[in-house]
Amino acid sequence: MGRGMTTVLTGIKPTGYPHVGNYVGAIRPALRRAGRASGSYFFVADYHALNQIQDAALLRELSRAVAATWLACGLDTERSCFYRQSDVPEIPELTVILNAVTPKGWMNRAHAYKAAVAANAERGLDPDDDVNMGLYGYPVLMAADILACRADVVPVGRDQVQHVEIARDIAERLNRQTGREVLALPRHEIPADAAAIPGVDGRKMSKSYDNTIPLFADARAWTRAVAGIRTDSSPRDAPKTPEGTAVYEIFAGLATAGEAAGLHADLSAGRAGWGDAKARLVSVLERELTGPGERFAELMASPATVDEVLAAGAERVRPVARAVLDGVREAVGLARASAPRAAV
């Protein structure tokens, strides 16, 4: 299939406020990828988040904030279908059917579940401690997300590659079992422009390390966050190695290639110190993210707008998912879904 004829799909788990690392590593590359596709689906994976978040107000808040973030960063709802997973009942319905063809052993080997078991072992806890069935069956729901839309390409980070492979394996298995091509086979794609950037302490930028730079802030807050980036104590005129330093890598993630080359040359030649590099980083944060931050604030002040956008997206995706589900129901021998009859 040609590049322009692909349907891409990305799910976004609303478990935290997006930070600069999410923007550079996931949001911006996914939006660019969608721009080169013939169709695209983006959704807030709130059922997936529910496995982790038991606080209703928090889940609602994060779902809205994540949706507002993607809209503020330029998600084009004319060209892309943008919805909440839980507004599409065909997805959980497909999950039930996929569960019946998915070997349990595949779930035992899935990374997210294995990581939870390993963390329990490390702390001397029961392997099943705090592991719910949602986490265990996570890849099946994710497969339903992907297969319900007949997505070809799923842009993901490395940690999600195995989950997309499982979705493909499930689809192949159901097709083989029924002798029909009822499901399209998806493939993962790690966007070439998705950089994993360091956080202020030099480790990968991650909410769980508490080393993030906020995506939407003002000059003062960004200056404060950037001031906290760890550097060595080389003087301004010492030749420095920019590669691998948090300040340079974060800058390179946000700036143009020319600007990154300029900072690289200046640090290497001892024409710029770490303080200068930090000042350039604050300016590029302001330039790239002030506009999106204003749109984000507007959307957060108007939850009804966000809800309407998502509801309209669900209206558009449901017929697609319904058609896939009807085909699957028929192929496995379930009765065709009938509209509920009014009580007499």
Residues lying near ligand TRP in the complex (CB under 6 A): 9-11, 13, 45, 48, 142, 145-146, 154, 156, 160, 163
- For residue 275, the minimal CB distance to ligand TRP (Å) is 36
Which amino acid appears at position 65 of this protein? Answer: A
Smaller CB separation from ligand TRP, 83 or 251: 83
Strands in 7-12's sheet, in edge-to-edge order, are 80-84, 39-44, 7-12, 153-155, 187-189
Smaller CB separation from ligand TRP, 135 or 309: 135
Using CA atoms, how far apart are residues 317 and 77, in angstroms rounded to an integer? 12
Tokens representing residue 52 in the block: 């982790």
Q: For residue 214, list its beta bridge partners.
A: 19
- For residue 244, the minimal CB distance to ligand TRP (Å) is 26
Smaller CB separation from ligand TRP, 277 or 321: 321
- For residue 115, the minimal CB distance to ligand TRP (Å) is 12
Which amino acid appears at position 3 of this protein? Answer: R
Only one residue has tokens 């059917």, namely: 97
Instruction: State the alpha helices, DSSP H only, in the chain.
Output: 20-22, 28-35, 46-50, 56-72, 90-101, 104-108, 111-122, 133-136, 138-147, 161-178, 219-227, 246-254, 257-268, 274-300, 303-332
Smaller CB separation from ligand TRP, 49 or 282: 49
- For residue 167, the minimal CB distance to ligand TRP (Å) is 8
Phi/psi region, residue 209 (left: phi>0; alpha: psi -120 to 50; beta: rest), is alpha
Q: Tell me, rounded to whole angstroms, the distance of Cα 94 from its chain centroid.
A: 22
Tokens representing residue 174 in the block: 């159901």
- For residue 154, the minimal CB distance to ligand TRP (Å) is 5
- For residue 47, the minimal CB distance to ligand TRP (Å) is 8
Phi/psi region, residue 250 (left: phi>0; alpha: psi -120 to 50; beta: rest), is alpha
Smaller CB separation from ligand TRP, 264 or 318: 318
Q: Tell me, rounded to whole angstroms, the distance of Cα 31 from its chain centroid.
A: 11
Sign of CA dihedral 219, 221, 222, 223: positive
Smaller CB separation from ligand TRP, 167 or 246: 167
Smaller CB separation from ligand TRP, 187 or 322: 187
- For residue 113, the minimal CB distance to ligand TRP (Å) is 12
Sign of CA dihedral 207, 209, 210, 214: negative
CB-nearest residue to ligand TRP: 11
- For residue 344, the minimal CB distance to ligand TRP (Å) is 41
**3: buried, middle or exposed (CB in 10 Å: 19+, 13-18, 0-12)?**
exposed
- For residue 257, the minimal CB distance to ligand TRP (Å) is 28
Smaller CB separation from ligand TRP, 48 or 64: 48
Smaller CB separation from ligand TRP, 45 or 197: 45
